[in-house]
Amino acid sequence: MFSKQVFNQECKACTRLDNFLCEVKQKHPDYHARPVAPFGDCNAQLLIVGLAPGMHGANATGRPFTGDYAGLLLYEALFEFGYSNKKYSEALDDGLILKNCRITNAVKCLPPQNRPTGTEINSCNYFLAEEIKILPQNAVIMALGTIAHQAVLKAYGLKLNTAKFGHNKQHQLPDGRVLVSSYHCSRYNVQTKRLTREMFADVFKTIASLMSGEFNSS
């Protein structure tokens, strides 16, 4: 379970997103269509930050990266590197358990065209900042894509030019934790080979090294 003090599943702070979720719920009554809570180990050393729930993925199932294409590569990697007991994530009741890992999003609600506004990202950033506060001191934060990368910097109150986004790049954060960024595991990035399985695996190898006490500043 995730602390209710950190996450509010009834949040309606962003009018555009709240209205859109109401429309989606009318079209798909069986969909979750609410803010999507973080998922995984509350004491995890690895926090993975995505962009936002997908229409027919997390927005439908209520669990990050579950039921959509973007989750295929992610959960395969999590299984391969020992963070998950199952290779695929399909539904809330599929028995999948994350170990030493938690997954969240920069924006907790489904945005139209999967494009949150800057105001919506900033409004939701409070929740990410609170999630980061409860991480272990030696935690690693993995950001999937530029928006997630920038959201982590904002959660720390840092300027966006403090740490430039780059695939498999490491950045030391003010509290000693480390940010590692990756291209997002979206359908587009995978199909165009901007992100390959090998490239994604390299990021997890970097994370494993960091958890072993190694750090190479970029």
pLDDT at 7: 74
Question: Stretch 173-180: mean pLDDT, rounded?
Answer: 96
How far apart are alpha carbons 42 and 135 in whole angstroms? 8
How far apart are alpha carbons 216 and 170 in whole angstroms? 7
Q: What's the pLDDT tens digit per position in 25-76? A: 999 999 999 999 999 998 999 999 999 999 999 999 999 999 989 999 999 9
Q: What's the pLDDT tens digit per position in 74-93? A: 999 999 999 999 999 999 99
pLDDT at 8: 80
CATH architecture of 15-211: 3-Layer(aba) Sandwich (3.40)
How far apart are alpha carbons 70 and 185 in whole angstroms? 5
User: With bands split at pLDDT 50, 70 and 90, how would you rate the model's confidence at 1?
Assistant: very low
